[in-house]
Amino acid sequence: MTTSLPYRATADEACAWLASQTGTPWTLARLLDEGGQPYVWLDYSDDWAELFHDGVTRYAAPVVFIEDKQYLASGSDDVWLRLTRDSGNLAIALKEPGLRASRDGLHFQERDLLKLVKELLNPRPAEPQAPPVMESQLMKGLERSEIVQAFAGVGGGKLNLEQGMLKGEGVFGDDGARVRKNSRGGKNNYLWNPVTLAFGLHDVHRVPMPHLKKAFATQPLLRSWKAAWLESLALLGE
């Protein structure tokens, strides 16, 4: 007997249906690893008003950030959102430490699960992929002078990026894109994550996304970060 698939399925319902379709066992961790897109229902609150637009009072926010999905897969009791899309479908980085929501609101949409099964049962031939960016590269970060060079002109002359980094903040509050203190020391000598910084420049400082995409496509200093940038864009539907 084939398990029915609700329009909005809980994790258990989604896994049961996938098992009936593929003949193999499914867990939430496997579902996320295979690209299943989770959503979580959020009720309006003043603390997170930026997620709700045009009178929306309840919204299914997508869990798109890799680390938020890893948190779910670990067997967490709640859902952690640090990067998502608002009810107007715009990417938004939530202020630290992020939003914690009830796991009871977690669900998967019928259309996404149908697409997933179709892709699993009818796999496309593998295409050659670029070498992955090593974790050590991602953790290292870029120096302030490299960031200024890589993002030169993205704000159309209205944003003094170097001045923002020298203020001792992560460009858009708290540590933001700042990774850690540079081992060479010196005042305000930090390393920066250009991917996080780019989304902050877009969300907080309204730097146009095409300008940021051009920087990652053309700047040699950002070459080793391009894969992480493109993956983040894909997760956010940009």
The DSSP-derived string for 75-120 is T-SEEEESEEE-TTS-EEEPPTT-EEEEGGGEEEEHHHHHHHHHHH
Going by pLDDT thresholds of 50, 70 and 90, the confidence category of residue 1 is: very low
On whether both 113 and 150 belong to a single domain, the answer is no
One domain, residues 200 and 105: no
Distance CA 13, CA 137 (A): 39
Q: Cβ–Cβ contacts within 10 Å for residue 65, how many?
A: 20
Instruction: Give the model's pLDDT for residue 174.
Output: 47
Backbone φ and ψ of 12, nearest 5°? -65, -40
> Cβ–Cβ contacts within 10 Å for residue 66, how many?
14
Is residue 18 in some structural domain?
yes
Q: Please give the pLDDT value at position 55.
A: 86
pLDDT of residue 153: 75
Residues 173-197 pLDDT 10s:
445 566 665 555 555 567 888 888 8
Q: What is the pLDDT of residue 164?
A: 66
User: Which amino acid belongs to residue 17?
Assistant: W
Q: Is residue 146 part of a domain?
A: yes
Q: Which of 98, 121, 144 finishes a domain?
A: 121
> Which backbone phi and psi does 194 adopt, to 5 degrees?
-65, -25
Instruction: Give the C-alpha distances (Å, rounded to integers) separating 154 from 17, 213, 216.
Output: 47, 10, 11
3-state SS, residue 196:
helix
Is residue 39 located within the same domain as residue 77?
Answer: yes
Nearest to 189 by CA among 162, 166, 172, 159: 166
pLDDT at 31: 95
Mean pLDDT along residues 51-79: 91
Q: How far apart are CA 131 and CA 146, in angstroms?
A: 23
Confidence (pLDDT) at 129: 53
Q: Which of 76, 96, 121 marks a domain boundary?
A: 121
Query: If DSSP codes are grouped into helix, strand and coil, which group holds residue 194?
Result: helix
Residue 33 reports pLDDT greater than 70: yes
Residue 176, domain member (yes or no): yes
How many helices (H) does the chain have, and how many strands (E)? 10, 11
Do residues 154 and 212 touch, judged by C-beta distance below 8 A? Answer: yes
Residue 135's pLDDT is: 47
Least confident range of 27-36, 111-120, 133-142, 228-237: 133-142
User: How sure is the predictor about 145, in pLDDT bands with cuts at 50, 70 and 90?
Assistant: confident
Do 149 and 229 fall within a single domain?
Answer: yes
Whether residue 134 is predicted with pLDDT greater than 80 in this model: the reply is no
Is pLDDT at 133 greater than 90 in this prediction?
no
Domain-embedded: residue 213: yes
Q: Give the pLDDT score at 54.
A: 82
Domain boundary among 97, 121, 145: 121
112 and 161: one domain? Answer: no
Whether 24 maps to a domain, the answer reads yes
Per-residue model confidence (pLDDT) at position 169: 54
Taking only the tens place, the pLDDT of each residue in 192-224 is: 888 888 888 887 778 888 888 988 888 888 888
Same domain, 102 and 204: no
Domain range for 158 is: 135-236
Least confident of 11-15, 123-127, 141-145, 221-225: 123-127
Domain count for the chain: 2
Q: What is the CA radius of gyration of the chain?
A: 20
